[in-house]
Amino acid sequence: MAIRRVSKSASQRVSEAIRADSEASRLPGKLLKRAFFEDAPERVAPRLLGKLLVLRTSAGVMAGRIVEVEAYLGPHAQPADRAAHSHRGPTPRNQVLFGPAGHAYVYSIYGLYFCMNFSCEREGHGGGVLLRALEPVAGMEQMARNRGLPPFSFATAKEKNGATTRKGRGNACELTSGPGRLCQALGLTREKHNGLDLLDPKSTLQVRDDGMRVTRVLVTRRIGIRHAVELPLRFALAGNECLSGPKNMEGKLIFVRSGRAGRLLR
């Protein structure tokens, strides 16, 4: 199967732009608008594919391209989405989901890890999109430190796929392929990052659009949940090396003829 992913030169350009100047005004691409998130999670989720998650820290800038997400529907959804944290209504933990769209909802799970959602829909609705995997773009050295992995140089997804990976060289995707892993790689915690506005130019955590065009999106059931397992609400860049979960998951492939992920499922 042919694999569609970011061209190496595009990734390098992004990486170099970030390294050259970490000022907000010089970050790659443009900040998304609030309206982007003020829609149903199942429509926001596929549009997020290909966008960049950018985190500025004192140690430098880390960035990853969003390659896998899941939509979690608010309490008013038909049918009810019992897998969603918000399905019973607001609680102290999930209040960010019921706030304005475009904010980070970070929660701890199994006492060991954190996961992050983006709030969607209008205030009070409780919809969200879970980030399941990123393709690392910048700050891989810091990500490896955060993950407790050895500081060897990481092969890019393209190198790995081209079988040019040298022995002893890790795959960059190991850093961020999974909802817990990506939070650990970026150092995201509930204490520091829950509730951050992803659309504020001054925010340390942003979602940006560098114009990458998405052409093939895989839609499958969600992973690792007990309730509402049948809903097709997991969206991924088809064939991307950095996806989490089983590689042989059945799903539907959607071809995006218009080019923009934002035109999906409209």
Q: Does 179 bind DNA (CB under 7 A)?
A: yes
Per the CB < 8 A criterion, the answer to whether 126 and 104 are in contact is: no
Rounded alpha-carbon distances, angstroms, from residue 165 to 154, 171, 201: 9, 8, 38
Q: Does 74 bind DNA (CB under 7 A)?
A: no
Q: Exactly one of 47, 56, 65, 181 binds DNA (CB under 7 A); which one?
A: 181
Q: Exactly one of 166, 167, 226, 252 binds DNA (CB under 7 A); which one?
A: 226
Binding-site residue total for DNA (CB under 7 A)?
A: 36
Stretch that binds DNA, among 19-27, 30-38, 88-96, 235-243 (CB under 7 A): 88-96
Q: Which amino acid is at 221?
A: R
Q: Exactly one of 80, 113, 169, 195 binds DNA (CB under 7 A); which one?
A: 113
User: What is the rounded distance in angstroms from the CA atom of residue 4 to the CA atom of residue 27?
Assistant: 24
SS3 content of the chain, % helix, strand, coil (to 5): 25, 25, 50
CB atoms within 10 A of CB 80: 15
Token reading at 48 = 């997020």
Element (H, E) at 128: strand 128-138
Binding mask 184-213 for DNA (x = CB under 7 A): ------x-----------------------
Report the nearest approach of DNA to the CB of residue 167 (Å).
Answer: 18
Binding mask 26-65 for DNA (x = CB under 7 A): ----------------------------------------
Q: Does 1 bind DNA (CB under 7 A)?
A: no
The alpha carbon dihedral of 41, 129, 241, 9 has a sign of positive
